[in-house]
Amino acid sequence: MPHLLSEFRLRDIALANRIGVSPMCQYSSVDGFANDWHFAHLTARAVGGAGIVFTEAAAVSPEGRISPQDLGVWSEKHFEPLARIARFIDAQGAVAGVQLAHAGRKGSTYRPWSGRGAVPEALGGWRPVGPSAIAFSDSYATPVELSADRIKALQLAFATAAARAHAAGFRAVEIHAAHGYLLHEFLSPLSNRRADDYGGSFDNRTRFLRECAAAVRRALPEPSLLFVRISATDWTEGGWDVDQSVELARRLKTIGVDLIDCSSGGNVEKAEIPVGPGYQVPFAQRIRREADIATAAVGMITSPAQADQIIRTGQADLVLLARELLRDPYWPLRAAQDLGYPMPWPAQYLRAAPAGAPERTPAHELD
Q: Which of 110, 181, 198, 330 is catalytic?
A: 181
SS3 360: strand
CA distances from 187 to 136, 177, 213, 219, 290 (A): 15, 9, 14, 23, 20
d(CA 179, CA 231) in angstroms, rounded, equals 6
> How many C-beta neighbours within 10 Å does residue 222 have?
8
181 is catalytic: yes
Let me know: does 152 contact 206? Beta carbons within 8 Å: no
d(CA 277, CA 47) in angstroms, rounded, equals 26
Rg of the chain over Cα atoms, rounded to whole angstroms, equals 20
Nearest to 295 by CA among 275, 274, 310: 310
Let me know: does 224 contact 171? Beta carbons within 8 Å: yes
d(CA 143, CA 191) in angstroms, rounded, equals 11
Burial (CB count within 10 angstroms: exposed 0-12, middle 13-18, buried 19+), residue 144: middle
| Parallel, antiparallel or unpaired: strands 294-297 and 318-321 | parallel
Let me know: does 177 contact 211? Beta carbons within 8 Å: no
Per the DSSP assignment, residues forming a β-bridge with 100 are 58, 175
Catalytic residue set: 181
